[in-house]
Structure 1
Amino acid sequence: MSNPPRVVRDSRRPSGLILARVSQFGLCVLFALGSWGIADVAWAQTPGQRDPVPSEPLAEAADDHLIEHAKKHLDPKYVCPMHPRIIRDEPGTCPICGMDLVEKWLDPMTSPNRSKHPEVSLASAVVQTLGVRTAPAERGTLWRYIRTLGRVSHDETRLAHIHPRTPGWIEALDLRAEGEPVKKGQTLAELYAPEILSAQVDFLLSRDGGGERRVSADKARNLLRLLAVPDDIIAVIEREGAPRNRVPIRAPMDGIVTQIAAREGMYVTEATEMFSIADLSRVWVLVDIYEHQIDWLKPGAAAEMRVPARPGRSWEGKVDYLYPELDPTTRTLRVRLVFDNPDLSLKPNMFADIEIFGGPKRDVLKIPAEALILTGEREAVVLALGDGRFQPVDVVTGMQRAGEVEILSGLEAGDRVVTSGQFLIDSESNLQASFQRLAEPEPEPKTE
C-alpha cells in the first residue's frame, strides 16, 4: 500500500504579516513567496510516486525565515557613520575621515529617480486602523467674509467748531451743559465786539445818502457777513437804522454739543473754540483688517454691525475708505465704515461687532481646510491615488473661509485628498525620502 502524499510546509512561514510588508522588501519578497509556492506544488505528488528530495537551494531556503531569505537578495550598501552621504557598494573606509564603512540595508523601492515625496502604500487593514478619510477637490464658490471688532466714532465731515470772527465778550449764553441737542440756526450765545459795532456804523453811513461814505453799501454789507453777522440781523439794522450792541452766535447745523469753552462774560478771540457740535445722524466705525484680507475689500462693500449695548439690533452700512498705510506693529490696515444713525442709538466710542461681505469668488478649486498640512516651510496635502497608495504633494493656497481652502496650484478638480491621518502618511513619505537621499552617490573628493 503506497504512502499518502506528503506536503512539506514550514510552520514558521508567515502569511498576512509578510504580505503586509511586501513594500518593504519589494520584488525580492514576491520572488521568495513564489519560490515557496512552487516548492509546495512540486512536493505534492500523486499516490504511488516517490517523494522527491528537495534540491539544496530549496532546502536551504526552507530553513530560513522568509524575511531573512528576502534579505539575501538585497544588495547591501556601506555608509560612513560620520558622513552619511558617503555610500559605497563594497566595504572600505571613508575618504573624508577614514572610518570604516558600516553595512546598511536600503529599501529597493526607494530610488533617487522617484518624485520629491515618495508614495506610501498601506494595507486596507492599516487604512481602517488609522481612520483615513478622503474628500474630493472640487470647484465652487467661496464668499469673502470678514468678522472683526470696531469702534464707533464721529463722522468728521459732520463736525462744527465755532470761533468768533473778532475779539469780544460773551454777553449772554443760552447753553448750560455739553450733550445738549441743538438745531440749525439756534442761538448759542450773544457777542459784543467793538469791530462788529464799527462795521454796523459804516453800513448805516453807506445807506445814508447825506452822510460821509467811508465804504460802499455793498462792501459794508459784505464786511458784516464776514464778521458772521446773520442776514436777518443785517436786515433789522438796515430797517431800524440803528446798530446793535450784541449779535447772536448761532448753530450752523443740527447736532449735539460736544464741547463748550465759552462762559458768560468771558473774553474770546479768534483762536477761542467756543463750541463744538457733532451731527450723529451718521457715524463712522473704524476697524482693523489683517493683511491677507485686504484684497477682499473695496469701497462700497456691504457691512453689518451689532453692538452689545443694543442687543437684538443690527445696522447695515458700507465700506467708505481704506487708509493708505498699514500699522507696522499689528500689521493691520485701518478701514472706515459708514452707518446711518437716525435715532442716535449709536454713541461715539461704543465697541461693535462688524461683519464685512467682500462678495463671492466663483469657480475656485477648493478642499476642506483640515486636509492642509502646514509645516512653516511648505503647504501640502496627501493625495489618495487608490489601491492603498498615497503621495504628499505641495500646493499653493489662496483664501480660506468657512472651513474651506482655495487651491491655486498643485491639484486638479476630482483629486481626492486625505482629511484624516494625513500627518502620519506625510511623515512616512518624508522618512522614505531621507533614505533616498542616503542612497544617492556622491562624488569622491579630489585628492592631490
Structure 2
Amino acid sequence: MHPNIVQDHPGSCPICGMDLVEKRITPAPQGSAQETALEHAAKHLDPTYVCPMHPNIVQDHPGTCPICGMDLVEKRMTSKASAQTAAAHPEVALSGAIVQSLGVRTAAVERGALRREIRTVGRVVYDETRLAHVHPRAAGWVERLSLRAEGEPVEKGDMLADVYAPEVLSAQVDFLIALERGGNGSARVAPDKARNILRLLGVPEAVIRDIEKTRQTRNTIPVEAPAAGIVTQLMAREGMYVTPSTEMFTIADLDEVWVLVDVFEHQLAWVAPGMPAEMQVPAYPDRTWTGKVDYLYPDLDPKTRTLRVRLVFPNPQRALKPNMFADVVIAGDPKQEVLKIPRDALIVTGTRESVVKALGDGRFQPVDVVTGMASDGVIEVRSGLAEGDQVVVSGQFLIDSESSLQASFRRMR
C-alpha cells in the first residue's frame, strides 16, 4: 500500500501495519564494455530520498519522513574510493556569515625555494688552538711574580715572573767562558753552541745580548708571555719551587672563540664546514655575531642522537666570554622548487598531518598531507596538495572538528 516504505528485513509497514513483501530486481540489459557496473547502475537508477534519522525510510520523490517528520534528503551514488575519502573527511559547507564570524583566512600553495636553517643552542668555549701553557725550561725558584690574579690581560713579551735556576746560571758561565776563549780564535763554534743552550733553556734574546755585552751573569731569568691574551690559570707563587713539568701560567687568546652546538641526526645533510652562522647571547640581545662552521665531530652522542659541531666567531672586543649560552642559526643552501604552505595551516594530531582545503563557494574539506622540512614559518608539502590550491590558515581547527563529527555520525548510521 505504501511503496515508499523499504527495508532490508521482513516486517510490517509502520503506517498501515501490513506485512512487507520481498521486492525482486530483474537483471538490466548489458551496457557498454567501457563503463563499470556502478556507473551503469547510477545512469539508470532514479534518484532516491532517505530520512537522515530513519535510513529504512526510502522513496523516489521528495517528502517528509512518516515517523519523525524530517525532510528526506537525496541519496547519491559515489565510487568506492571517493566514498571512503568522503567518509573519512567529509566536506563542510559554511555560509558567508559563518565564514566571516569565524575569521576564516586562506593562502595559496606555492612552489619555490625553501631556506634550510638549523636553529640550535650552543656554548662559548676557548679556542684551543689559541691557548698557551707556560712551563719553566729548568728547575728553580720563583723569585718575583708580575701577576697577582687570574683574568689579567697580557701582551706578547710581557714579563710574567723572575725565576732563579742553577742550571741556567751554569749555562751563563759556560757562555761567558766560551766568549773569552773563542774571541781571538779562528772558529766561533763554542760561543754559538753556548748561546743555543741558553736559548733552549728559555733565556730571552734580549737577556742573552745583555750578558754578552756586560760579560756578567744574571741570577734570575724573566719568564715572558709567549702570546697576547688573558691569564686563565695562575699556578705559580712567589718562593715556589718549579720544574719543567709545572704549569705556571695558561694564557687564552679571546680574539676568536669557539661555539659548540648539537645538531640532530636528520639535519646532518644540511650542514658542512664553511657554512655561515649567526649567534646571539642573552647578555647582548641587540647584537648579532657572524661566524662559520669550522668542524663536524666524527661521532654522535648515543643518548641524544645529536652530533657536536664547532663554530668559529671573531671576538675582537672580547665581549664573548667562555661558558656563555648562545642561540645559533646555521644557514644552509636553500632547497629549490618545493611546494610550501604556511606553518599555521598544518594540523598535527599525533596520528596524521592534514590541512583544510578550500573548495570554493563556502565548501571546505580536510586533506591528509605528507610534510618535509620547515623554515621561517613555512613548511614543505611532499604529497596531498597541488600548486595553486587554497588552504585555510585561520579557523581550520573548527572546520576539521566539524568534518570529524560528521564522519562519526555517518559511521554510526
TM-score strictly above 0.5? yes
Q: Distance in 1 between matches of 2:77 and 2:239?
A: 98
Give the aligned residue type for 1:120. Answer: P
Q: What are the residue-to-residue correspondences of 1:10-25 with 2, within 5 Å? A: none
Q: Distance in 1 between matches of 2:258 and 2:228?
A: 17
Q: What are the residue-to-residue correspondences of 1:233-252 with 2, within 5 Å? A: 233-252=207-226
CA RMSD of aligned residues (A): 4.0
Question: Which of 230, 240, 243 lines up with 1:266 in the alignment?
Answer: 240
- CA 63–153 in structure 1, closer or farther in 2 if over 3 Å, else same: closer
Question: Which of 331, 342, 345 lines up with 1:357 in the alignment?
Answer: 331
Partner of 2:131 in structure 1? 159
Question: Which of 57, 64, 85 lines up with 1:117 in the alignment?
Answer: 85
Give the aligned residue type for 1:178. Answer: E
Partner of 2:308 in structure 1? 334
Partner of 1:315 in structure 2? 289
- CA 228–27 in structure 1, closer or farther in 2 if over 3 Å, else same: farther
SS in 2 for 1:339: strand
SS in 2 for 1:224: helix
Q: Distance in 1 between matches of 2:355 and 2:199?
A: 74
Partner of 2:401 in structure 1? 424
Shift in Å at residue 409 of structure 1?
2.8
Q: Distance in 1 between matches of 2:73 and 2:399?
A: 30
Question: Given the two structures, how large is their TM-score scaled by the length of structure 2?
Answer: 0.70
SS in 1 for 2:339: strand
- CA 368–70 in structure 1, closer or farther in 2 if over 3 Å, else same: closer
Shift in Å at residue 361 of structure 1?
3.6
- CA 257–292 in structure 1, closer or farther in 2 if over 3 Å, else same: same
- CA 372–235 in structure 1, closer or farther in 2 if over 3 Å, else same: same
Shift in Å at residue 230 of structure 1?
1.8
Give the aligned residue type for 1:403. Answer: G
Give the aligned residue type for 2:125. Answer: S
Assess if the C-alpha contact under 8 Å between 2:95 and 2:362 holds in 1.
no
Q: Distance in 2 between matches of 1:68 and 1:173?
A: 102
Q: Deviations over 1:340-364 (max 9, x none)?
A: 2222233333344444434544432
Residue 184 in 1 paired to residue 150 in 2? Answer: no
Q: Distance in 1 between matches of 2:109 and 2:149?
A: 65
Q: Deviations over 1:200-244 (max 9, x none)?
A: 344444442499x9x854443333322222223233333444443
Question: Which of 404, 408, 433 lines up with 2:382 in the alignment?
Answer: 408
Give the gaps of 5 or more residues in structure 1.
1-25, 38-60, 72-106, 439-448
* Higher deviation after alignment, 381-390 or 343-352: 381-390
Q: Distance in 2 between matches of 1:418 and 1:313?
A: 37
Question: Which of 178, 190, 197 lines up with 1:223 in the alignment?
Answer: 197
Give the aligned residue type for 2:111. Answer: R
Shift in Å at residue 254 of structure 1?
1.0
Give the aligned residue type for 1:28. Answer: T
Larger Cα Rg: Structure 1 or Structure 2?
1
- CA 127–368 in structure 1, closer or farther in 2 if over 3 Å, else same: farther
Partner of 1:29 in structure 2? 49
Q: What are the residue-to-residue correspondences of 1:426-441 with 2, within 5 Å? A: 427=404, 431=408
Shift in Å at residue 253 of structure 1?
0.8
Shift in Å at residue 260 of structure 1?
1.2
Q: Deviations over 1:310-360 (max 9, x none)?
A: 464443333333333444444444333333222223333334444443454
Partner of 1:14 in structure 2? none
How many residues are paired up? 351
- CA 346–36 in structure 1, closer or farther in 2 if over 3 Å, else same: closer
Question: Which of 351, 355, 372 lines up with 1:377 in the alignment?
Answer: 351
Partner of 2:113 in structure 1? 141
Question: Which of 140, 159, 169 lines up with 1:197 in the alignment?
Answer: 169
Give the aligned residue type for 1:222. Answer: N
Shift in Å at residue 287 of structure 1?
3.4
SS in 1 for 2:49: helix
Q: Distance in 2 between matches of 1:36 and 1:177?
A: 97
Shift in Å at residue 156 of structure 1?
1.8
Assess if the C-alpha contact under 8 Å between 2:124 and 2:323 holds in 1.
yes
Shift in Å at residue 150 of structure 1?
3.6
Aligned-residue identity in percent: 56
Q: Deviations over 1:389-419 (max 9, x none)?
A: 6554443212222332111233221123344
Q: Distance in 1 between matches of 2:246 and 2:137?
A: 10
Assess if the C-alpha contact under 8 Å between 1:191 and 1:248 holds in 2.
yes
Question: Which of 284, 303, 308 lines up with 2:277 in the alignment?
Answer: 303
Give the aligned residue type for 2:91. Answer: S
- CA 69–367 in structure 1, closer or farther in 2 if over 3 Å, else same: closer
Assess if the C-alpha contact under 8 Å between 2:47 and 2:61 holds in 1.
no
Assess if the C-alpha contact under 8 Å between 1:141 and 1:360 holds in 2.
yes
Q: Distance in 1 between matches of 2:133 and 2:222?
A: 16
Shift in Å at residue 163 of structure 1?
0.8
Q: Distance in 2 between matches of 1:220 and 1:169?
A: 23
Q: Distance in 1 between matches of 2:112 and 2:376?
A: 13
Give the gaps of 5 or more residues in structure 2.
1-45, 51-56
- CA 116–221 in structure 1, closer or farther in 2 if over 3 Å, else same: farther
Partner of 1:80 in structure 2? none
Residue 171 in 1 paired to residue 197 in 2? Answer: no
Q: Distance in 1 between matches of 2:71 and 2:122?
A: 69
Shift in Å at residue 383 of structure 1?
3.7
Shift in Å at residue 126 of structure 1?
9.7
* Higher deviation after alignment, 259-268 or 151-160: 151-160
Give the aligned residue type for 2:400. Answer: F
Shift in Å at residue 292 of structure 1?
4.7
SS in 2 for 1:29: strand
Shift in Å at residue 27 of structure 1?
4.4
- CA 425–138 in structure 1, closer or farther in 2 if over 3 Å, else same: farther
